[in-house]
Chains A and B, each alone.
Chain A
Amino acid sequence: MDRLIYTALSGMDAAMNRQRAVANNLANASTPGFRAEELSVKPVTIKGDGFEARSLSQGAVRGANMDGGTVTHTGQPMDIALVGNALLALQASDGTEVYSRRGDLRVSATGVLENGDGLPVLGEAGPITVPAGSQLAIGEDGGVFLRDPATPEAPPELVAQIKLANPEGSAIIKDLDGFLRVPGGGALPGDPTARVIAGSLEGSNVDTATTLVQMIEAQRSFEQRTKIISTADDLDQAGARLMSLR
């Protein structure tokens, strides 16, 4: 049988992978700060002597779509939405610096400032810790202000500065936990001009209408490739009939 079916199979595989990436985007349509993944499929031409006839598909997640999500006002003082393309610096479980747009911050029982994913938020000097039970407010530039409950009339005291990183000009990829990283290790520079909106939370940037179109597209391209396989089958059967001895 013609190797055509394997070419079609690689296409079916790619369409199914694409559908899976689309499904993941739709499933995360309400995860705060989620960045949609973009999958691109490229043809791989088998080079060799003669005619270049074989073309297989190879899919790759090209990284994340970094468009902004909808910002909703939540009224929670510990929720922050990042303005522009700034990223929140976090400490991953392996100790390296990763980035996220998810800004639902909270203080753990041990006093560590964490985001909704449970990773410590990084300041200029590592993770930010505050006295347990303290009332915090977050300033427009990412400054963490502590209000002493014993002296409510005293002005809030700046205890730390959240690192807001600037991804401009740097390559960033999603790692296996869904956080953004600099490929090959390294850290993004902090951006003193980056701004946050306190009391608001950025949603996922998944555009459901576009994603549904991508879903139908993936479905149809899968169907086209199954059609190629059945056509190859027809060709094969026709060949077998011609060759059969009467």
Chain B
Amino acid sequence: MPTSALHVARTGLEAQDTRMRVIANNLANIGTTGFKRDRANFETLAYQDARVAGARSTNETAYAVGLNLGNGVGVQGTSRIETQGTLSTTGNAFDLALDGPGLFQIELPGGQQGYTRAGNFTLSADGQLVTAQGYVVQPAIQVPQGAQSITVAPDGTVSATLPGDAAPAELGQLTIASFPNPAGLQAIGDNYLVETAASGAAEIGPGGDNGRGSIRQGMLEASNVNVVEELVEMIEAQRAYEINSKMISSVDEMLRNANQTL
């Protein structure tokens, strides 16, 4: 019990340290296509009841107030902030950006479904639309050899002019996935997210339909990290860390004093 103030302050240091890590990750990913910033959420830890309000103080009377001491703070989790990133024109036919909510579907190795906002796609050696890692964008689009002027419509329809054919031919349609709780998706790195019990099941449909974002060809979505906001948060976390470390040295001073004086 006498050292518990030390441990309470320690929870503060740990929480701010985690927050700093989240901020550092946001800043590190400022140039990552389709990256969504995270926010660390804090919660108070359970209180410890040294004396319950309402407990008997004498035979006739009860304590009107209790002595509830807090145990500090904990990091509850991080939530992804899903605001739209800035769209920038690249002119590359296979750069696709989503304007509005939704995610592209990717088949990860092993057949698992992955989801991403990073639309910097490319063609594989055998003409399939793939991500930078070479994972196939779903539904798979096969671009025949020598296809010219490939266009992706806002609803995901991919068409191209094939050699010896004046009219453009439809190659397939990309669909967009949306989730009941997109913040519940789990980030697995490489810009990919996977479904969890918290996110709910994916609802698949064409772009621009039922509130889904529409596809913008020749554009990429930048990260939604705001440098100024992150820097302000960083300073705030640093100061909060400092005052918690001051608390540790203050309690240490008390205990040292008790040890030396007594």
The one of A20, A104, A229 that contacts B69, using a Cβ cutoff of 8 Å: A20
* Residues in A whose Cβ lies below 8 Å from that of B6: 23
* Residues in A whose Cβ lies below 8 Å from that of B70: 20-21, 24-25, 27-28, 37, 178
Size bin of chain B's contact surface: 35 or more
Q: Is A43 located at the chain interface by the 8 A CB criterion?
A: no
Contact between B66 and A75 (Cβ–Cβ < 8 Å)? no
Contact between A230 and B262 (Cβ–Cβ < 8 Å)? yes
CA distance A227 to B257 in the complex (A): 9
Number of A-B contacts (CB under 8 A): 189
* Residues in A whose Cβ lies below 8 Å from that of B250: 19, 215-216, 218-219
Contact between B43 and A19 (Cβ–Cβ < 8 Å)? no
Q: Is B148 located at the chain interface by the 8 A CB criterion?
A: no
* Residues in B whose Cβ lies below 8 Å from that of A22: 5, 247
The winner among A31, A37, A211 for most chain B CB atoms within 10 A is A31
Contact between B258 and A28 (Cβ–Cβ < 8 Å)? no
Q: Is A175 located at the chain interface by the 8 A CB criterion?
A: yes
Supposing A109-B200, A177-B47 touch, asked if A219 and B254 sit within 8 A by C-beta, the answer is yes
Within 8 A of B (CB), among A127-157: 132-133, 135, 149-150, 152
Contact between A227 and B9 (Cβ–Cβ < 8 Å)? no
Interface string of B198-215 (1 = CB under 8 A from A): 111001000000111000
Interface string of B175-216 (1 = CB under 8 A from A): 000111101100000000000011110010000001110000
Q: Is B56 located at the chain interface by the 8 A CB criterion?
A: no
Q: Is A32 located at the chain interface by the 8 A CB criterion?
A: yes
Contact between B246 and A219 (Cβ–Cβ < 8 Å)? no
Contact between B8 and A20 (Cβ–Cβ < 8 Å)? yes
Contact between B243 and A173 (Cβ–Cβ < 8 Å)? no
CA distance A179 to B81 in the complex (A): 26
Q: Is B72 located at the chain interface by the 8 A CB criterion?
A: yes
Contact between A109 and B197 (Cβ–Cβ < 8 Å)? yes
* Overall SS of chain A's interface: mixed
Interface string of B38-51 (1 = CB under 8 A from A): 00011110111111
CA distance A32 to B16 in the complex (A): 14
Size bin of chain A's contact surface: 35 or more
Instruction: Give the Cβ gap from A186 to chain B, nearest Cβ, in Å.
Output: 14
Q: Is B251 located at the chain interface by the 8 A CB criterion?
A: yes
Contact between B243 and A29 (Cβ–Cβ < 8 Å)? yes
Instruction: Give the Cβ gap from B24 to chain A, nearest Cβ, in Å.
Output: 16
Binds B, one of A59-67, A83-91, A238-246: A59-67
Contact between A16 and B254 (Cβ–Cβ < 8 Å)? yes
Contact between B180 and A109 (Cβ–Cβ < 8 Å)? yes
Interface string of A51-79 (1 = CB under 8 A from B): 00000000111110000000000011000
The one of B66, B67, B71, B247 that contacts A215, using a Cβ cutoff of 8 Å: B247
Contact between A75 and B198 (Cβ–Cβ < 8 Å)? no
* Residues in A whose Cβ lies below 8 Å from that of B73: 24, 27-28, 30-31
Return the chain A residue nearest B40 by Cβ: A30
CA distance A25 to B44 in the complex (A): 10
Supposing A24-B71, A111-B180 touch, asked if A174 and B258 sit within 8 A by C-beta, the answer is no
The one of A62, A133, A176, A229 that contacts B203, using a Cβ cutoff of 8 Å: A133
Q: Is A26 located at the chain interface by the 8 A CB criterion?
A: yes
Contact between A31 and B47 (Cβ–Cβ < 8 Å)? no
Contact between A104 and B41 (Cβ–Cβ < 8 Å)? yes
The one of B198, B236, B251 that contacts A23, using a Cβ cutoff of 8 Å: B251
3 cross-chain pairs, A with B, having the tightest CB-CB distances, nearest first: A149-B211, A27-B12, A24-B70
5 A-B pairs (CB sep. < 8 Å)? A31-B73, A174-B68, A177-B46, A208-B243, A215-B247
